Amino acid sequence: MKVLVTGANGYIGQGVVDELVKAGHDVVATDFSLNNVNEKAIKITSNLFDISDPYDFFEKPECVIHLAWRDGFKHNSLNHMTDLHKHYAFIKSLAESGVKRIAIMGSMHEVGFFEGSISEYTPTNPQSLYGISKNALRQSVELLAKEYQFDLLWLRGFYIVGNSEFGCSIFSKITTAAKMGQNEFPFTTGENQYDFIDYDIFCHQIATAISQNEITGIINCCSGKPMKLADRVEQFIKENGYDIKLKYGAFPDRPYDSKAIWGNNEKITKILDRENK
């Protein structure tokens, strides 16, 4: 397929483009800058929200993976609310142009405070502007999918583990701190349990999900099991040979973070199993 990837120069976008290229898709990559994107992709620098006809502008893609999102790690940034209608208008324009396969990056933060396994049927009650905006976009685009009859894949992301300095996750921050020679990293208690997934596996799941047409809707991109934050971060430090120690209790746990939360991985497992047959 010809696949448009928005936010292609971002932390997730770079890996997703690599996986799509590897899978043989024709990739059109767009972002404000594209200096870190695979050279085999067609690169189009743009501001998505300034384009009146994105379908023609991006060379008539058959599938769109919408990863672009501002301030993803600033959970209460007002930009989540001010950009919401722009994301909706962008997706609506593509649907009106006849794009029949649209995948959008979601987040477990849509669910809000919850303990246990999250499935596609888990009720949502987001506790941050980021979660509220993502959830609102999902609900509104679900209506668009019914009206314009396109396949919607809502790729709900969990906790990505990778040592790239390009990201804003705790793992990226530890990588940056270690390479700067810091020997201590301020940390929470680390007692909360989350669903951790390695970066390469996560990007492969996204590329594989959009490459099939049998399973749609909310798809959890996850490992399917919980692990204590402190244990996974300590493991990450050891795996990478970083000479840095965690300063436990330097930051309080966020009140809206669940004590134990992980994704139901039944749908993504079926998708991956079919790929291997």
Catalytic residues: 130
Beta-carbon count within 10 A of 148 CB: 18
**DSSP 8-state code for residue 134:** H
Tokens 């696949």 belong to residue? 3
Contact, 93 vs 131, CB < 8 A? no
The pair of structure tokens assigned to 24 is 């043989």
The pair of structure tokens assigned to 274 is 């079919």
Q: Nearest CA to 166 among 11, 7, 4, 8?
A: 11
**DSSP 8-state code for residue 109:** G
